[in-house]
Amino acid sequence: MEPESALRAFDLDPDFLHLNHGSYGAVPRDVRLEQDRWRARIEKNPTGFFQDEYPPLMRATAEQVARRLGGKAADWVLCENATSAVNGILQSLDLGPGDEILTTSHAYGAVAKTMELVADRRGAKLSVADVAPLPADDAEVADAVAAHLGPRTRLLVIDHITSATALIFPVRQIAERARAAGVPVLVDGAHVPGQIALDVPSLGVDWYTGNAHKWLFAPRGCGVLWTDPKRQRITRPAVLSHGTDQTYTAAFDWIGTRDPSPWFCFEAATLAHDGFGGAGLMAENRILAAEAAEEVASILGAAIAGPASMRGSMAALLLKPGYHDAEGAAAYRRTLAHEHRIMVPVYVFAGALWLRISAQIYNSPDDYRRLAQVCREMLA
């Protein structure tokens, strides 16, 4: 499908270049209409829906998630987003003085803040493994994390695809080394479903959470969480409600009255993803992101985070080393958006100015050439 035709399948404003699919996703029109149908169905009889229809629908949706992402439905629950799931897991752990949570310097900001606060409240410690912004390969990342595993490490929180550098971390290798050290592993896979192939149980981790509303085309508010059966007894959501004293699935399936329509669109979203090419779409996006990153980097004299083998449908480019002005980065982003109508993240990470591009079915090589030309003028 040509990018121009693909763009018409979404409600995206064609006057903008949309190069930030990774942050908030984009919902195909057919999926949005499906969400409208669910909302209309709920409003016809809210009492009947939530009391009688909602419980089995939640488990039916979990079956759909399991078929797509691996494992059994009993191990999957729905949540608003990966950050919400991480909050629940951190609050479920019996941490105390002297205990340690381990993460990396690439951890997502909201998750890092949550870990720091939870550790502080329990008298525990947050330890950060410093992973280079431009690692050479998987082994460098795995070694950096493993070097920080210690006798007081009670949990390792690792990104599968990082937000700041768009790198695919070697989760399976890291999990093997954590298991050997007796450390449970929580994976923040916010960017993964729909961007790269995923079979969660095969990774050998204890918890895995991701967002279907980024690369899998679900409406925003469609997060998923897988928990190894041996960890389900202690695992509860951040918001505790009627199911708290029951089972893992009962606790997550009902935490109060919410709009469940994003979850019930999971199947429609996966059908849309498959309709756009499924595995073929992921492969094409990966190629486009790699080629775009090389061209933009060449024009701007930028460095790309990691080799192509460690990247999926995104790429992060280091524009200026020795840069610490967060407001300046925000000003760059606003100028790109408001004056040039290009939507792309510009930010400070590891003492440098970065740009992150995404590649989706509605993007073309010309989009990135335009971005590079505008950025070259701005940076000059």
pLDDT number for residue 240? 93
What domains does the chain contain, in order, with CATH numbers?
3-27+277-379 (3.90.1150.10), 32-270 (3.40.640.10)
Count Cα neighbours of 211 within 13 Å in the Cβ-side half-sphere: 25
CA 147 to chain centre: 25
The parts of the chain modelled with pLDDT lower than 50 are none
- Distance from the first to the final alpha carbon of the chain: 36
322: left (phi over 0), alpha (psi -120 to 50) or beta: left
**Which residue type occupies 137?**
D
pLDDT number for residue 89? 98
Tokens 């609050």 found at: 91
Three-state helix/strand/coil letters over the chain = CCHHHHHCCECCCCCCEECCHHHHCCCEHHHHHHHHHHHHHHHHCHHHHHHHHHHHHHHHHHHHHHHHHCCCHHHEEEECCHHHHHHHHHHHCCCCCCCEEEEECCCCHHHHHHHHHHHHHHCCEEEEECCCCCCCCHHHHHHHHHCCCCCCEEEEEEECECCCCCEECCHHHHHHHHHHCCCCEEEEECCCECCECCCHHHHCCCEEEEECCCCCCCCCCCEEEEECHHHCCCCCCCCCCCCCCCCHHHHHHCCCCCCCHHHHCHHHHHHHHHHCCCHHHHHHHHHHHHHHHHHHHHHHCCEECCCHHHECCEEEEEEEECCCCHHHHHHHHHHHHHCCCEECCEEEECCEEEEEEECCCCCCHHHHHHHHHHHHHHHC
Look up residue 276 and give its two tokens: 């756009």
pLDDT number for residue 180? 97
Neighbouring-strand partners of residue 356: 316
Would the pTM count as exceeding 0.95?
yes
Count Cα neighbours of 166 within 13 Å in the Cβ-side half-sphere: 30
pLDDT number for residue 344? 98
Tokens 């509605």 found at: 362
Residue 317 contacts residue 172 (beta carbons within 8 Å): no
Tokens 């460690």 found at: 310
Nearest to 199 by CA among 56, 61, 75: 75
Look up residue 246 and give its two tokens: 């029951």
Phi first, then psi, for residue 176 (nearest 5°) are: -60, -45
Look up residue 19 and give its two tokens: 């190069």
